[in-house]
A and B are shown apart, each in its own frame.
Chain A
Amino acid sequence: MESRVITITSGKGGVGKTTTTANIGTALALQGKRVAVVDSDIGLRNLDAILGLENRIVYDLVDVVEGQCRLRQALIKDKRLHDLYLLPAAQTRDKNAVNSVQMEQLCQQLRAEFDFVLIDSPAGIEQGFRNAIVGADEIIIVANPEMASVRDADRIIGLVEAAGKPEPRLILNRLRAEMARRGDMMDVADVLEVLGVDLLGIVPEDEMIIVATNKGEPIVFEKRSRAGRAFLHAAQRIMGEEVPLDEVTEVPSLLERLRRLVGFGPALAEKRVRS
């Protein structure tokens, strides 16, 4: 299989890039793919924590690029999945520790070992962002349905196209379907109309993400979570499977919410999805 390098970026910070990278990476590995997730946010390392691997870091991306260690020494094997590896960012260096040429070479090295290389981009549009996209075949934009995030996403789409990359696909994260339905915030159609890109996934706002992050376990392992299923579906779409974009219509009934509250959630919630 041809190896694919995919960069997850957003412009604005705090919209869910790192969570998206961790979960799509995990979901791809769950589907039997060999996956490397790369934290390119040098100086503000976080992907390790979302994956629960923060205690295992010895070497990092900058060490590899500077030749202080071999790539394989820096790659951290996931605790749960055999085919998932993390290349952590350096914490004590800054964004300018790596240049575009080095980043491109690193991507080439990773291609040889993995089916998918997912690069978690830093926020912003400076060198760190440019490094993150330089070696990518595909770009995923993460945006929330609010003005500042969509505006930054539009800027990023322009920069990605200017860099000669194919049109990015969008993950609309933290959608509050109920608020959108009432007209209190933008809905999926509004954001797509403004940005004019293809949709890769819709991830509903989900408190379980916070719990999962606290535990260091990606949400895709949590079958009850709607956000977890949404990330799984996005990963399946990346692999070319046709998964209907029904995340948004899947509004839980009052009964289901009650069941979740008392803890009988999983089985019943799953049944609803399958039907």
Chain B
Amino acid sequence: MGIFDFITGRKKPTPGELAKERLKVALVQDRMKVNPELLELIKSDLLTAISRRLDVDEQHVEIRLAREDHWDKLKAEVPIKRQKISFECKVTVEVEKDDESEL
């Protein structure tokens, strides 16, 4: 159970659990040198990428750092409203164009 579950009131944490969850977030931030500002940037990059293909419910996106099974993780929960039909390879074409312009 993550700290966000606690905040949204799914379960009232004991002080011990609260300490552990706060600690985990602090440690991942320390280790990965990721601050909340950078996390917001990553979130916005991620939304841009996913929104090309899927219709994202941006109000309910959660992105956070966690430590599980000895791994530092970036965890994202991205609720989808409905599927966009966008299987065309527009993006790839654009990238190729960019490459050409750089050359």
Contact = CB atoms under 8 A, between A and B. Distances in A.
- Are A and B bound to each other? yes
Given A183-B15, A184-B14, A194-B67, A151 B20 contact: no
Interface of B is mostly: helix
B19 interface: yes
Contacts of A154: 27, 30-31
Q: How large is the interface on B (under 10, 10 to 19, 20 to 34, 35 or more residues)?
A: 10 to 19
A147 B15 contact: no
A184 B16 CA distance: 5
Interface string B13-32: 01111011011101100110
Given A193-B20, A194-B67, A196-B70, A185 B26 contact: no
Q: How large is the interface on A (under 10, 10 to 19, 20 to 34, 35 or more residues)?
A: 10 to 19
Contacts of B70: 196
Interface string B31-57: 100000000000000000000000000
A194 B24 CA distance: 6
Contact of B14 (A155, A158, A183): A183
Given A147-B23, A194-B23, A155 B15 contact: no
Interface of B: 14-17, 19-20, 22-24, 26-27, 30-31, 67, 70
The 9 closest A-B pairs by CB, nearest first: A183-B14, A190-B20, A183-B16, A196-B70, A185-B16, A186-B16, A184-B15, A147-B23, A154-B27
